[in-house]
Chain A
Amino acid sequence: MVPKKKSTVLALGLAALVAGCGHPSNVSKEADHSITNARMSDNPVHTIVMPHDEPVFPPGPGRDEFVTACVVCHSPRYITMQPRFSRSTWLSEVKKMKDVYGAHISDEQVPKITDYLVSINGKPDSGQAPKGIYGE
């Protein structure tokens, strides 16, 4: 069940990358922001268009690595939402994403991404920073 889906999604993802960013014909270009409840009987195909409103980070050392390895899976808002964390906490977050969640981050990228996160949302190391091992 799970492996089949993963492989199918990957294949589709690659196809989408090759195909570019065209809209399927049955998807409206305008997001529907009306406050209505979906009604099952009216239309058997129920479709929404997700809005995007992502913050973009300033240039700086490690930004390219951050964009390549992190933003492919989630908005940069996952960083700006957090309070200022110490370097040890940001480092444990990067390692968690790499080793536990499955992000494509090389060993060489780990300190670069960590430095970048500290530069934009860091604080001095207190030496007793929590380790967010399971922090969902």
Chain B
Amino acid sequence: MHIPSKDLAPPYLGGLILNQDSCLDVRNNPGADSTTGNVRKVAFMNRRRFFQVAGAAGAALMASPRRMTSVLAASSSTRELVRFPEKTEMILLTDRPPQLETPIHYFRQDLTPNEAFFVRWHLEGIPTSVDLRTFRLNISGHVRQPLQLSVDEMRSQFEPISIVAVNQCSGNSRSFFEPRVPGGQWKHGAVGNAKWSGVPLKSILDRAQVKSGAVDVSFNGLDAPPLPSVSDFVKALSIDHARDGEVMIAYAMNDHALPMVNGFPIRLIVPGWYGTYWVKALSDITVLPQAFSNFWTDKAYRIPSGPNGTESPKNLAKDTIPINRFNVRSIFVRPDPDETLRRGMPTEIEGIAFDAGHGIRRVEVSTDGGATWADARLDPEIGKYSWRRWRAAWTPRSRGQYRLMARATNAIGETQSKEQWNRSGFMWNVIQQVDVRVQ
């Protein structure tokens, strides 16, 4: 655990390493869903064991057979790197439930590797084992023909589609809001771009024969709340959105199975919409004849109803709506803020830009703090929901400090914010500033 020391009051003890087999408890739940026979195996901390370990630790740190983490060197802040199963070294935000951020250098490629794709779960009980022989996707509710589909049946009985799409956490870049807001303190790496392959949700809903009068469709995954008083994580889309032919159920990510912590064996893909709707380890689809309502829609993941989800800390918006489509944004990938550039040496500024699907048409770059702007070169468009990489050649002429800025504009003229704030730290798209030193 590495938090800048100014943020810690003494006597902070630092990272205690719990021996994993002292506190991990895998609960096997063969009766979790009698209609599908899904076996729910979910990781929970064993409470009694935790108290034993945590109690002893106040006096002495436990030895660990293996240090799980290392420090991200040469970064503007010291954030810890961690390795989770099927993942490469990721920036650790939280371990239980996990929130793992992608190091920015992975954005130097069009598609984000599965092992580096960001991870964010809400509930402590995340799935850790899936038996594909018994796993079923259950489609029920306001339909004539309820279905239980295995992954093999989804692969063999439906016409597959693939779509390249950005998935971005609602709270990506939350740590840049000022005043700071509580929540996952992401920098810019809670986003990724992948090729998703699977079945259009419309095909599955059509086979289930949705009855007339359907309003919403809800989506639940194998994750489970740690207490009965905590709401299960279920999200919903309107029936029209669910049947638009683009919302899909993915069984492959960049032509491979999904890592478990990214939603194995299937997850919902909602192109152009924030990641909260991309339900992982999708197990239950319910068609509803009325509007869906639960904690995760009524109270969480809401934004001020005004432009760009913005409000003032001193005057909080009264009207809020569920978060929905991405706004326009760009992210610097290179240079790294800590990189030292050489006077007279040609360098290439690189980044990514994306929006909700209209398409990025222009990215402008400034190397003088916004006084002058020049167009960056855009890479070819891969797909309307993919991000688009951009580059700009730059040869700094003299020594000193430079402020780089980038501003993306989409096909309908939407561009990035100059300033922005909301209480939840959602939808950050302020024009990014990167200060670099030239020697």
Which residues does A use to contact B, with CB under 8 Å? Answer: 1-2, 4-10, 12-13, 15-17, 20-21, 23-24, 26-27, 29, 31-40, 44-59, 63, 67, 71-75, 77-78, 80-85, 89, 93, 100-104, 119-122, 128-136
Contact = CB atoms under 8 A, between A and B. Distances in A.
Contacts of A130: 179-182, 313, 423
A44 B13 contact: no
Most buried by B among A15, A52, A136: A136
B16 interface: yes
B284 A1 contact: yes
Contacts of A35: 86-88, 115
Nearest to A55: B1
B128 A53 contact: no
Given A83-B175, A102-B229, A128-B179, 12 more contacts: A2-B220, A5-B33, A21-B25, A23-B21, A45-B131, A49-B26, A51-B84, A53-B68, A56-B57, A58-B58, A101-B231, A130-B179
Interface stretch (B103-111, B260-268, B339-347): B260-268
Contact of B265 (A9, A46, A53, A128): A46
Contacts of A128: 179, 313-314
B29 A21 contact: no
A50 B25 CA distance: 10
Interface stretch (B89-97, B349-357, B411-419): B89-97
Interface string B125-146: 1101111110000001000000
Contact of B18 (A54, A58, A119, A122): A54
Given A5-B224, A37-B114, A80-B1, A134 B302 contact: yes
Given A45-B132, A132-B181, A134-B320, A53 B33 contact: no
B98 to A, nearest CB: 8
Given A24-B26, A48-B85, A59-B58, A120 B3 contact: no
A78 B129 CA distance: 25
A75 B31 CA distance: 28
Interface string B230-273: 11101000000000000000010000111111001100000000
Nearest to A42: B257
A81 B14 CA distance: 12
A115 B296 CA distance: 28
Given A24-B28, A31-B20, A47-B129, A52 B96 contact: yes
Given A16-B46, A51-B20, A121-B7, A31 B226 contact: no
B299 interface: yes
Contacts of A13: 27, 44, 226
Contact of A50 (B43, B54, B228): B43
Contacts of B57: 56
A134 B300 CA distance: 5
Contact of B58 (A53, A56, A131): A56
Contact of A40 (B20, B151, B423): B151
A35 to B, nearest CB: 5
A81 B94 contact: yes
B185 A131 contact: no
Contact of A136 (B15, B44, B122, B231): B122
B21 A29 contact: yes
Contacts of B51: 67
A56 B54 contact: yes
Interface string B47-61: 111110010011001
B170 interface: yes
A72 B46 CA distance: 9
Contacts of B234: 2
Nearest to A15: B27
Interface string B5-35: 0011101111111101111111111011100
Given A35-B88, A48-B261, A136 B48 contact: no
B369 interface: no
A133 B423 contact: yes
A53 B18 contact: yes
Contact of B46 (A17, A32, A84): A17
Which 4 A-B pairs have CB atoms at the shortest separation, nearest pair first? A102-B229, A37-B256, A48-B85, A132-B182
16 contacts: A9-B42, A36-B86, A49-B26, A56-B54, A58-B13, A67-B51, A72-B47, A81-B185, A102-B227, A103-B227, A103-B230, A130-B179, A135-B183, A135-B423, A136-B122, A136-B184
Given A10-B228, A21-B25, A1 B286 contact: yes
Most buried by B among A44, A74, A134: A134
A47 B226 contact: no
